[in-house]
Amino acid sequence: MQKVSVVGLGYIGTVLAACLCEKGLSVHGIDVDEGTVDKIRRGIPLVSDGLLPALIGRHTSDGRFRVTTDMSVVRNTDVILVTVGTPLNEDYSPDMTEVETACRCIAKYLRRQHLVILRSTIVPGTTAEVILPILEKGSGLKAGEDFMLAFCPERLGEGTRVTDFEGGVLEEFNSIPVIVGGVDSRSTDVAAQFWDSLGMDTVRVSSSRAAELAKLADNWWIDLNIAIANELALLCEKMQVDSDEVIEAANTLPKNRSSVNILLPGCGVGGSCLPKDPWFVHYLGRKCGLELKTCRLSREINDYMPVHMYDLITQALKDNGRSIEDARIAVLGLAFKQSTGDTRNTPATALIHLLTENGAEVKAFDPWVGTEEGKRVAGECLADSLEEALKESDCIALVSAQPEFRSISFGEIRTLVASPCAVVDGRRAFSSEEVRRNGFTYWAIGLGKKS
């Protein structure tokens, strides 16, 4: 049985470690934060993500997943996966401090035949130009000869990464190909063999730099695609056309080896990757003497969507004879997307700020977000329950389509809310027919008001 170290037990590392345990590997999880380590020992991950808590509990109990703050355990493992954070600096340049610090610690315990794989999103060139010298200097070993070094980007989506582990089924983990790029051909081969041994599809590229850039290209494309969908949604609202219908029709056009694939609009883009990676691209372009435009433009468009959500709420209230200053708003969803409790860069933050600074009374709730994190996002606006958030509300604003929200019975809650009450659907998760049948008005991104 191969032994693996996962360095960094945050949003990426914990999921990766749990999935590798499910694949039959023995995994040591390492994090500098004792509080994080203690929680994971008790089966509590940093964030709720599908069936992740159950999966962690299963493998901490059977001994396959062990967690510690002691970096020296990497010495006794075969593969070291680095999954620490890479935040943005204020000037949008990447902060590589955590990655560099982790690799300096790893270098002390590096031995011959080790395979080191970086999963953290980094600026192209970092693996070969920054990490390689750190590891060689700290260990006295030679990359490509004594130890192998590769970049294999994280590509799983939050909320869908661990959907079913009964019988060893990890649908998304198994189905998404792993990009492999080493600092030399031998490192590429060894890293690819590791993923191949787990039954994963691998895509070998010529260098770690190519693998690093492929990761950024993925998220650059996704963010820009969402920006196109969002601007299309704004246009459809003005033209009184349903953007969902337009996108569904447009996506039937075959194009090259696939089809047109416009993604869906929404009230904002959050998480760690999409709000950050296009800025990494922009920074990289400037280093290369280019002023790249689409990465900046996508960020501007997608950052605007919480403002548009606010505008829809004010229109919906006005249509019902109310103003924002004397309205009670139920904001449903604090996580940046459904089926996760991750609130990083959530559009709920901007929306709640806009509502409260313009005089609205706000009650916000998300069953996937803990009280401490909920207060960080919503402050005193945090409600203890869905019922508290909805009580006497003049408007229900959906920010993240958690399963609990999708199952709301509007027939049952109509006596709980004010009358009239508007629903502003930022994720197109509700049935407009059910909403309207029960006496609510229905507004949505990409639709405006459903008449």
Contact 342, 271 (CB under 8 A): yes
* 143, two tokens: 């990359």
Burial class (CB in 10 A: 0-12, 13-18, 19+), 120: buried
> Which of these, 330, 328, 352, lies nearest to 397 by C-alpha position?
330
Residues forming beta bridges with residue 428, ordered by sequence position: none
Pinpoint the residues of the chain covered by CATH 3.40.50.720: 3-206, 239-451
Give yes or no for residue 166 having a pLDDT over 60. no
Res 2: pLDDT: 82
Which one, of 14, 8, 86, 2, lies nearest residue 48 by Cα? 14
Lowest pLDDT segment from 13-22, 217-226, 317-326, 407-416: 13-22
Q: Which residue has the tokens 């006596």?
A: 415
* The pLDDT value given to residue 257: 86
Question: By the 8 A CB rule, do 25 and 2 touch?
Answer: yes
Predicted local confidence at residue 291, as pLDDT: 96
Query: From the CB of residue 357, how many other CB atoms can be counted at a distance below 10 Å?
Result: 8
Q: Cis (ω within 30 of 0) for the bond into 87?
A: no
Separation between Cα atoms, residue 279 and residue 42, nearest integer Å: 37
Q: Decide which of 216 and 121 is more confident.
A: 216
Task: Give me the half-sphere count of Cα atoms (radius 13 Å) on the Cβ side of residue 367.
Answer: 14
Amino acid at the residue 264? L
**With 60 as the cut, is the pLDDT of residue 165 above it?**
no
Q: Give residue 170's pLDDT.
A: 62
169 band by pLDDT with thresholds 50, 70 and 90: very low
Question: Exposure of 433 by Cβ count < 10 A (0-12 exposed, 13-18 middle, 19+ buried)?
Answer: exposed
Mean pLDDT, all residues of the chain: 93
Mean of pLDDT values over 17-33: 93
Rounded distance, CA 416 to CA 396, Å? Answer: 12
Please tell me the distance from the alpha carbon of residue 55 to that of residue 15, in angstroms, as a whole number: 9
The half-sphere exposure of 143 on its side-chain side, counting CA atoms within 13 A, is: 25
Q: Which residues contact 90 (CB under 8 A, 6 or more apart)?
A: none
Average pLDDT over residues 15-35: 93
Architecture of 239-451 per CATH?
A: 3-Layer(aba) Sandwich (3.40)
- Give the DSSP H or E segment for 217: helix 208-239
> Would you state the structure tokens that stand for residue 36, as one six-digit string?
């994080």
Alpha carbons 182 and 265: distance in angstroms, whole number = 36
Q: How many residues does the chain have?
A: 451
Query: What is the mean predicted confidence (pLDDT) over 13-36?
Result: 92
- Contact predicate 202/195, CB 8 Å: yes
**Does the pLDDT of residue 399 top 70, yes or no?**
yes
DSSP label at residue 5: E
d(CA 55, CA 19): 8
pLDDT at 43 over 90: no
Instruction: Find residue 443's DSSP bridge partners.
Output: 424, 449
- Percent of the chain residues topping a pLDDT of 70: 96
- Please give the average per-residue pLDDT across 77-96, as a whole number: 89
* Residue-level pLDDT at 48: 63
Give domain 3-206's CATH number out of 1.10.240.10, 3.40.50.300, 3.40.50.720, 3.40.640.10.
Answer: 3.40.50.720
3-state secondary structure of 22: helix
161-170, 278-287, 432-441: range with lowest mean pLDDT: 161-170
Please, which residues bridge with residue 6 across strands? 29, 81
* Residue with more model confidence, 226 or 256: 226
pLDDT at res. 161: 47
pLDDT at residue 168 in the model: 42
Greater confidence (235 vs 57) lies with 235
Q: What confidence score (pLDDT) does residue 172 get?
A: 73
Over residues 363-382, the mean pLDDT reads: 96
Task: Give pLDDT tens digits for 105-162.
Answer: 999 999 999 999 999 888 899 999 999 999 999 999 999 999 999 999 998 766 444 4
Q: Is the pLDDT of residue 217 over 80?
A: yes
Instruction: Summarize pLDDT for 299-347 with one digit per residue, the tens.
Output: 999 999 999 999 999 999 999 999 999 999 999 999 999 988 899 999 9
